[in-house]
Amino acid sequence: MEVAVGAARWVVGRALGPVADGLLEAWAASKELGPNIDALKMELLYVQGMLNNTRGRDIDNPALNVLLQKLRDLAYNAEDVLDELDYFRIQDQLEGTYEAADEHAKGCMCNLYLNAHHTARAAGKLLCFCQCSRASSRAHPSEPIEEDDTRQQVLCCAWPCAKRRSARGNISSAPHNHQANEEVSGCMRKLASVACNSIRHVGKLLHCSSLPTHDDVSSVMPTICGACKHKVSQKKHVKETPKLEFDRVDLSRRMRLIVEQLQPVCAKVATILNLELLGSSHTAPSIANIPRTTTSDIIEPTLYGREPAKKRIIDSITHDKYSGKDLTILPIVGPGGIGKTTLVQHIYHSHEVQKHFQVKVWICVSQNFIVSKLTEEIEKALPSIEDEKKGRAEELIEQRLKSKRFLFILDDIWKCESEDWKRLLVPLRKGQTKGNVILVTTRFPAIAEIVKTTNSSIILEGLEHKEFRNFFRACIFGDEKSQNDHDGLLKIGDKIAEKLKGSPLAAKTVGRLLRNHLDAHHWTRVLESREWEMQTGERDIMPALKLSYDYLPFHLQQCFSCCALFPEDYKFDSEELIHFWIGLDILHPAGGSKTVEDVGLESLSDLVNNGFFKKDETDGHPYYIIHDLLHDLALKVASQESLTLHHSNVRSVEIRPSIRHLSIMIDDPDDSNGITGENFKSELKKLKTKLKVENLQTLFIFGGGDQSFVNILGDLFMEANALRVLCLPTLSCPLESMLHNFSSLLHLRYLKLGTSMRRMPLPTTLSRFYHLKILDLRKWDGSFLLPRDMSNLAKLCHFLARHNELHSGIYNVGKLKLLQELKAFAVNKEIQGFELNQLEHLIELRKLGIYNLENVYTKEEAIEAKLVQKDHLHKLALHWDSERPNTEPGVEVVVLESLQPHRNLQELSITGHRGPSCPTWLGDKLVVEALQSLYLSSVSWDIFPSFGKMVNLRELGLSNISTIKEFGPEESFCKLVKKITLAGLENFEKWVPQPTHFFPHLQVLIIVDCPKLSELPFSSHIVYPLKQDWNIDWFPKLQELWIEHCPEVLLLPPIPWTHSLCSVEISNVGSKLLDKLVYSKSSSEVALTIIGKVGLHNLDQLLLFSKLTELQALMIQKCPPLELKYFLMLTSLKKLWASSSNLGVVPSGGQSGVEWQHPVDEINICFSDSSGRELTQFLSHLPKLSKLEVSSCKNITQLVVGVDLQQPTVPIVSSSTSLDVITMDDTQVKDEQQEIAEVEEEANTMDDDGLLLLRAHLSNSLQALHIRTGGGVVVHSLEALQALTRLQLEYCSFRHPFPSSLLQLKLSSVKGVLTLSNLTSLTRLEIYGCGEDFRCEGLLPLLTRGQLSDLDVQKSPNFFGRWEWDPSAPISRSSKLQMLNTDDIHGFLGAPALCSLLSSSLTDLSFMGDHETARFINEQEEAFQCLTSLQRLEFWFCYKLEHLPAALNKLTNLKRLVIFGCLAVRSLPKDGLPSSLRELVAQGVNEELREHCKRLIGTIPKIII
């Protein structure tokens, strides 16, 4: 063989030698691909060994760091090369080629041919440069290609040129003329002919191997070179995605070059590391290894923002819930610098604690949790006692604490094992007194879980904004007087404070930076540069936080630091986060049965336990968040390789040459440091010269952008070929227009795409990413059409999609052998590629849904799915079409029987099966014993499984099953089940209770649409009487109860019969007591709504008031009054609404004449028959009432406020009073007081049931008042309501001045209003239907001297009619009005002086319901152009409007334009829209306008039509 190979090499070398210099080297490079791979691997192993040795060592050697960075860069390059080779190896397997193989499968002749082919290709690159250079030098991939170019391309691609990947550098050449091109093409054909003929000639002499067949030859024929592939892809007849070209020679050379570069660097690094090792004994310990010490001495004399927590802790340990226990251990948890130690110091020295505890000990634990050492420290801290016996430290502690109540502070615990903790507590538990307490402070929630004896820990987070601002200023200025001397700096300081997230240590760090330079320039520089993040002192914030980071193992550091790419306060889904880590390849199972997902979950749990993530939930869905300054820490520790760009940092952030991970946040308006959208674009353009885009491995783009953004990003990322992770969740244009090289991203592992544009196509090149592991399309609402060859993605593990159509569209899905979720597989969707046997080899599936099972007809076909062999499958859905016209029960029985899953299955759903019984593997011969959830829908079974045999079953759902008449599950099922759903059971009549079936663990019970059900397993008191003399609670842990559309159900349980209930909804049942009841309990509020029926005489027929002490909001409709004894039980009630009910309290037996009060805060009465006297009496018992709404109460005719006659009042304004100055003489004051006194006296003496009197005690508590009635209530003066900030009057008469304290005022169909000019604190004003006589007199002071920011004027046609403003008047020439909504286009724009006044403040303008205006006249156009600050402009239901303002394009700040229900508008303005526009909404409009807007797609980031 060696002779044959040598002879062949000689012959081919001879044949190729005359062509060009360098051919022998090219041949050798091609032949030596395998050895170069081995050499590179060996060198990388050596590098890895060295780099592993640097972990955990604090090497302070800048030169070594530079060399190590060089090593990392070379390692990345090596990874790219090997990964690229692996990509083409996979492509070889898919295409049946040998482009990336060391040897051809058919022997040495084919090897010769293969090497000759690659050698000739390399030679071609030396000669065939002209056309490819010209192709690759086009300014943009979308440039038109002339026909001549296409013809030349055919010649070029006969021997493909190398469009080198950007990491290898660009190749340039002078343009060749047409004659040269023809010579080159001829040369290439000749070269190919000579090479092939030489090989075949040698093959005739040597019979050791066969030559390539015709297929073999075609298999190694070239495809399309990178520089030219774009041209070919545009040809209509090309349907398949072009393959990427494999450059064997270049790849081999690159590997050899990397090895050559690695060797000298490795040698230098090894030498330095050896020297470092020799001198390691002399290096100083790192900060992480220096024990931090604390004492009980108070350093901060004032405790800012922690007084409530301090009081709560002191109360609990001295005389509340913990004072009666033997030993209480209360952990205080929070990140470094949050103030844990300071809080405990103040607790330790408080008067209550000093008095309560006889012994107090402070121990700083830090990182040295050694039981023997801590025990000795405690013994030394305890004072000796008389007659003390000598002994071990534990014995001395026991003697000294024997009859004394003690408080121990164990500060700053970093590590603690459960067994060690128990050992430490042994001598402390032997005391003979109660009320002993240990306060533990720690950064780590996991430690808190180990040590605590309470239900929860004290979690410290950042200080509240106001308290933090005060503390921050104290850190800078000291006393308040110094603050007042520097008013100009306080605004800058407040902006800095917002970035510090309430961290006290951050306040101290920045306070030191600002204290000695009290000038605006320095403070602004600190704000923009975030200089505090660069401070390295032991008591600075970042080193303090980094201590926790350094304490993490390396893999957790990686997991945490990479999260810096996400926006601040981002809510991570656990699945999303783990998949991201998989994409970065930072999760590595250590062996055994753990999957990479298992490792991810463990890592996330560890980060939560170490305090880097906080777990929370919204609507029952858990999420994880990095809080406060820990996100800034992530940015800092990741800054060597990761970069996050947004408006506020784009000019200041350092861009290192080592950056490999990038995220860009386009929509970032809240904190932009004055950077406009155009400035941001300009800065992004500059990135091309600062950032090594070719090195990027991760790219996130958050937010949408217009076409200019797309163009900028497309130009910036033209050479980003090394991407492994790509996240684009808000696409507004086709992906290829943003990433022109998208099809070349052969390293891609993680791809997340999202769009709201329905017609957006998926990239056709999806199927070419052979390394792809994660494809996340959960936010994809575009086209669901997948590439036909999606099954090429052999490494795909997770295909995440919200829509089943995406899963059901995968052709030949059986090739995706690593796939873990297939939510919808449609059997025989097409003739080929959707057979059930496609599932046979998908053994990694965790979730599977099989649809259209009516298309399966034989047992053999069903068995081919091999479900029984899928031991990882946890969730399975089997679905027959319930609407199918024809059924074959016998066939369906066999099919379902043959679809037996593995015994490990946990969740099963069966829908539409028309067989007579359940399968045996679910019934008599139960196989799926691990089943936890079972849902059966639309089945025709007469025989159901024995749920009691399923010992792990926790959820059961039965829906749309007509054969079920009774439900009487076994006792074993009842004892374990947590959720039961019974829905659409049309013949279900009775839930058969058993005396011993108590459902002790049931949490969710849903019964819906069961028209015949009459009996539930509880009586009216939710207990079942047994023969013994006691009752047993049926559902003691029930959290959710839903009973709906069950008209025969008569008896209902009293709510809430158990404290565990969190959600109850009962409606449309047969009970004569109620129509609807909704009860909800969450962390934010406990609320109850009842709509009664005529049979309801007392609310205790429905409610268990003794268990409603936490109720905060109660709404009753068509209900009787509350009995006083029950009302007083609602001690937490804050809101009470009564509709169509007599609101009041009926005295209970023996309670008549009893004085009482209730702390309810808000009362809403509507459609009530209660009299004014009854409501007056009720309200008199509510001293804390802050909000009152009285609506449509026909028996209320007057409203009066009772006042103390000694209280001064504000003057009455007559119709002749000046708008700007209001005065009142003593006579008027006395008359006003006398009028109010007389009204109150009349209310107390006369039998006037129509008078509602608000007693004097409400004058300081009532903050919001809403009066609405159709009867024209007369409202008397409200001036006495000094705390009133919100007032709403509808259909009333009112002729008095409004309280000057008002912030919000709404007037609807109100008569007699005189003026508004005294309401200078008003921020929102609504005027509706106040007639033609209601004008804007008095509005000028609100606009020029007041705080008015929001104005809404509807159906008051002359409101703007008399607007007059003298610009020379001595008042402010600007306004604070930001939002204006009106139905009077003509009136508003007909007041040019008003528009001029609002020019710099008005940002939101909405014209809603103007049915008169058709066009804008010149005066209105000119007035409109004054509104230069507009950002949002909306036209709603302006039916006659034909044209929009002509000069819209001059509104350079406009971001959002809405046209809704304006059918007469046919087009947009001729001069176009402003370039600043970010969103255009055109709905319910003329078709011509719709088409006009469609043509703008791509030029505006968001268009909704």
The whole-number pLDDT of residue 482 equals 66
Compute the average pLDDT of residues 1066-1095.
Answer: 90
Number of C-beta neighbours around residue 1407 at 10 A? 22
The whole-number pLDDT of residue 400 equals 87
Compute the average pLDDT of residues 482-497.
Answer: 74
φ, ψ of residue 1372 in degrees (nearest 5) = -60, 140
% the chain with pLDDT above 70: 77
Confidence of residue 212 (pLDDT cuts 50, 70, 90): very low
Mean pLDDT lowest among 322-331, 474-483, 882-891, 1437-1446: 474-483
Mean pLDDT lowest among 553-567, 893-907, 1206-1220: 1206-1220
Task: Tell me if 834 sits within 8 A of 819, measured CB to CB.
Answer: no
986 has a pLDDT exceeding 90: yes
Compute the average pLDDT of residues 216-239.
Answer: 36
Mean pLDDT lowest among 192-201, 625-634, 851-860, 1244-1253: 192-201
Name the token pair of 321: 């819930």
d(CA 1209, CA 1203): 10
The whole-number pLDDT of residue 226 equals 34
Helix/strand/coil for 897: helix
Confidence of residue 534 (pLDDT cuts 50, 70, 90): low
Positive or negative CA dihedral for 562, 722, 248, 27? negative
Task: Tell me if 121 sits within 8 A of 249, measured CB to CB.
Answer: yes
478 has a pLDDT exceeding 60: yes
Compute the average pLDDT of residues 350-378.
Answer: 88
Number of C-beta neighbours around residue 116 at 10 A? 25
24 has a pLDDT exceeding 70: no
Residue 887 identity (one-letter amino acid): T
pLDDT in tens, 154-186: 333 333 333 333 333 333 333 344 444 444 444
The whole-number pLDDT of residue 988 equals 93
Specify which of 173-187, 569-583, 1009-1023 reaches the highest per-range mean pLDDT.
Answer: 569-583
1115 has a pLDDT exceeding 80: yes
d(CA 933, CA 951): 11
50 has a pLDDT exceeding 70: no
Find, among 1026, 1048, 974, 1031, the residue nearest to 1005 by Cα: 974
Confidence of residue 1134 (pLDDT cuts 50, 70, 90): very high
Tell which wins on pLDDT, 1409 or 463: 1409
% the chain with pLDDT above 90: 30
520 has a pLDDT exceeding 90: no
Confidence of residue 698 (pLDDT cuts 50, 70, 90): very high
Compute the average pLDDT of residues 290-311.
Answer: 79
Name the token pair of 828: 């025989």
Compute the average pLDDT of residues 1144-1155.
Answer: 67
Find, among 744, 782, 645, the residue nearest to 703 by Cα: 645
Compute the average pLDDT of residues 538-552.
Answer: 72
d(CA 381, CA 362): 8
Confidence of residue 72 (pLDDT cuts 50, 70, 90): confident
Number of C-beta neighbours around residue 1422 at 10 A? 14
Compute the average pLDDT of residues 272-281.
Answer: 65
1147 has a pLDDT exceeding 80: no
Cα–Cα distances in Å, from 487 out to 465, 480, 1131? 19, 11, 46
Mean pLDDT lowest among 219-228, 423-432, 924-933, 970-979: 219-228
The whole-number pLDDT of residue 673 equals 56
Tell which wins on pLDDT, 574 or 1215: 574
Rg (CA), the chain: 40
Tell which wins on pLDDT, 1369 or 253: 253
Residue 1195 identity (one-letter amino acid): N
Compute the average pLDDT of residues 1312-1319.
Answer: 75
d(CA 1260, CA 1370): 36
d(CA 208, CA 109): 8
| Long-range residue pairs from 1211-1219, CB within 8 A, at least 24 positions apart, any chain | 1211/1297, 1212/1277, 1212/1296, 1212/1297, 1213/1297, 1213/1314, 1213/1315, 1213/1318, 1214/1314, 1215/1314, 1217/1314, 1217/1315, 1219/1315, 1219/1317, 1219/1337, 1219/1338, 1219/1340, 1219/1341
Find, among 898, 937, 941, 939, the residue nearest to 921 by Cα: 898
Confidence of residue 990 (pLDDT cuts 50, 70, 90): confident
1052 has a pLDDT exceeding 90: no
953 has a pLDDT exceeding 90: yes
Tell which wins on pLDDT, 958 or 1504: 958
* DSSP state letter for 917: B
The whole-number pLDDT of residue 1314 equals 62
Find, among 38, 27, 35, 34, the residue nearest to 5 by Cα: 27
Helices and strands of the chain, counted as H and E runs: 43, 49
HEC-encoded secondary structure of 539-580: CCHHHHHHHHHHHCCHHHHHHHHHHHHCCCCCCECHHHHHHH
59 has a pLDDT exceeding 70: no
Mean pLDDT lowest among 512-516, 847-851, 1025-1029: 1025-1029
Give 3-state DSSP helix, strand, coil % of the chain, rounded to 5: 35, 15, 45
| Average pLDDT value for the chain | 79
Find, among 196, 224, 223, the residue nearest to 212 by Cα: 196
* DSSP state letter for 1120: P
The whole-number pLDDT of residue 1144 equals 66
Number of C-beta neighbours around residue 89 at 10 A? 15
Tell which wins on pLDDT, 968 or 196: 968
DSSP output for 843-869 = TT-SEEEEE-GGG---HHHHHTT-GGG
φ, ψ of residue 1034 in degrees (nearest 5) = -75, -45
1149 has a pLDDT exceeding 80: no
The helix (run of H) or strand (run of E) holding residue 630 is helix 629-637
For the chain, report the end-to-end CA distance as a whole number of angstroms.
72
The whole-number pLDDT of residue 1189 equals 93
Cα–Cα distances in Å, from 865 out to 841, 852, 945, 1165? 8, 14, 23, 64
717 has a pLDDT exceeding 60: yes
